[in-house]
Structure 1
Amino acid sequence: MVQVINQSVCGGIAGRRPNATPKGVVIHNDAGSIYATAAQYVNALAVMSPTQLANGFAHYYIDRNTIARVEDTFNAAWHTANSDGNLNYVGYEVCQSMGASYADFLANEQMTFKQVAEDMKFWGMQPNRDTVRLHKEFVPTACPHRSWELHGKETNAVKDYFISQIKKYMGNQNENNSNSSNNNQNTIKGREATMFCLYQRPINSKTGKLEDNGDHWATFFCNGVNCRRLYHGDEAEVIKTVYRENNGKEIPFFGKEKWPKNAPWYKRLETVCPVVK
């Protein structure tokens, strides 16, 4: 059961937005305490002085178990270090970007996309490249650092991934992700990302290096942009569960028995979608 916390602990300190409806949303990565939960952020912000709050806060803090709203969405929040971003965009912090496992962070992202979708429906707003923004579009920053690494390392690639996931929860998945002036589209179609898969490939169990003659078959996740090794069985299970719930079917899995002998097809996949740490 997801816990929902609605406590406006920041008290409108950043001022009220002039318009009831914002221009859009900004999805952040918290880059805070390694394992800080959304509930812990509520408690911490509630006792901060105005000077401390001036260092920055968003409207929402979200993890896989909790959705916490700490500021009314009709108010501004100091979350972009930019007057337009602070005043006209609602900020969502995906928690535990520094410490959560790969699978847990993906689950935290998904819970965030659900809340963004709910809010955008309420505002009558469509997700596109104008309404879904990154912190680094407003000021030089690494934020959203982990989402950036996972979903393309390029502004429109990351935004298009965010947009596709928000649309999934809004029920309008087939619409174009981009704005009217830019029809570049990512490879997201329908309800699923067509290149998402789990696969196995051999590694050296002692060094962890990728070796075609390695003594251990490790499991990797491919998101259509890059591939990443999964170190714990629970990570694969969480990815399978999230994919199943989002798409109504199992994520494709290519185990060692799927690869023809003397034909390491995983290398072809990794040529297109390189392995990253």
Structure 2
Amino acid sequence: MEHIYSDYFNLTETITELKRDILGVVLHDDAENYTAKAYITWLKKRIDQDELEKGWASVYVDQTTCYWFHPTHYTEWHCGDKFANTHYIGIERCQSKINGVLNDNEFMKIEEVSFWLAAAILKKYHLPVNRTTVRIHKEFYNTACPARSWLIHLQNGLDTLESINKLKDYFIFKISQYYSDISKKDIEILG
């Protein structure tokens, strides 16, 4: 896995203020065909056009690359919800467009990378893996996100609390499989 860090990790300047406290992660599906590296240019364009308020996450991940856009302990604009933005770390799973460039099995490999990454982030912040710390975008905002995962794992089931919890429980199961094996060295590479 290649880890790429934006200039925000080298400068004293940041986009936002520190998060008051970190309560967990939010897993997103980007609904695009972009790779994690493509988001480097995409986000630079948003900065140049003064459009960051349209949204961004701390980290963008695909099967081979993790792009750390902004330090995880700073507020993000990933959920359309102030509480989520100021308390949760956004993990944007790339190339999740339904009927996009990846088939379901290929996208599920990116999901696996995101589960490892979520486990590492939760361990870094000394958080357990449960329904409070592992969240999905649609819990905070009226959105289809994570639409690709919803389609694959719930066969596009009804948008109910029961379905949300079923998907979260699957994510929690997968993240838990990685959690105990996360090492101090793994945590050191996190943004």
**TM-score normalized with structure 1 length:** 0.57
CA distance in 1, matches of 2:38, 2:178: 26
- The aligned amino acid for 2:146 is P
Deviates most, 77-86 or 114-123: 114-123
Q: What's 1:105 paired with? A: 107
| Residues 39 and 9 (structure 1), Cα distance of their counterparts in 2 relative to 1, 3 Å cut | farther
Give 1:122's aligned residue: 124
Aligned to 2:150: 148
| CA displacement, residues 172-203 of structure 1 (integer Å, 9 cap, x when unaligned) | 8xxxxxxxxxxxxxxxxxxxxxxxxxxxxxxx
Q: Which is greater in Rg?
A: 1
Identity %: 35
**Paired residue type of 1:147:** S
Q: Give secondary structure in 1 for the equivalent of 2:50.
A: helix
Q: What's the C-alpha RMSD, in Å, of the aligned pairs? A: 1.7
Tell me the residue number matched to 1:5. Answer: 4
CA distance in 2, matches of 1:24, 1:146: 21
Match of 1:166 in 2: 175
- State the Cα deviation string for residues 193-237 of structure 1 (Å, max 9, x = none): xxxxxxxxxxxxxxxxxxxxxxxxxxxxxxxxxxxxxxxxxxxxx
Deviations 1:87-144 (A, max 9, x none): 1100001101112211110001111111111111111111111111111111110000
User: How many residues are aligned here?
Assistant: 167
Residue by residue over 1:138-166, the C-alpha shift from the partner in whole angstroms, topping out at 9 and shown as x without a partner, is: 11100000111112241011100111111
Q: Is the 8 A contact 1:9 1:45 kept in 2?
A: no
Determine the structure 1 residue equivalent to 2:30.
30
The answer to which structure, 1 or 2, has the higher relative contact order (CA under 8 A, 6+ apart) is 2
**Residue 53 and residue 38 in structure 1: after superposition, are their counterparts in 2 closer, same or farther (change >3 A)?**
same
- Structure 1 unaligned spans of 5+: 173-277
Q: How far apart in 1 are the matches of 2:123 and 2:134? A: 14
Matches of 1:134 and 1:126, distance apart in 2: 16
Q: For residues 1-277 of structure 1, what are the structure 2 equivalents within 5 Å?
A: 2-9=1-8, 12-19=14-21, 22-32=22-32, 34=33, 36-49=34-47, 51-98=50-97, 99=100, 100-152=102-154, 153=157, 154-171=163-180
Q: Distance between the aligned counterparts of 1:135 and 1:8, measured in 2?
A: 27
Q: Deviations over 1:22-62 (max 9, x none)?
A: 11110000013x2x110110222134237311101011100
Q: Which has the higher helix share?
A: 2
Contact 1:24 1:90 in 2 (8 A): yes
- Structure 1 CA distance for aligned equivalents of residues 71 and 16 of structure 2: 11
SS in 2 for 1:18: coil
- CA shift, 1:9, in A, is 4.7
Runs of 4+ in 1 over 4 A off after TM superposition: 8-11
Instruction: Please give the alpha-carbon distance, in whole angstroms, between the structure 2 residues aligned to 1:165 and 1:8.
Output: 32
Could you tell me whether the CA contact under 8 Å between 1:62 and 1:93 is conserved in 2? yes
Unaligned stretches of 5+ residues in structure 2: 158-162, 182-191
Partner of 2:186: none
Task: State the 1:3 CA deviation.
Answer: 1.1
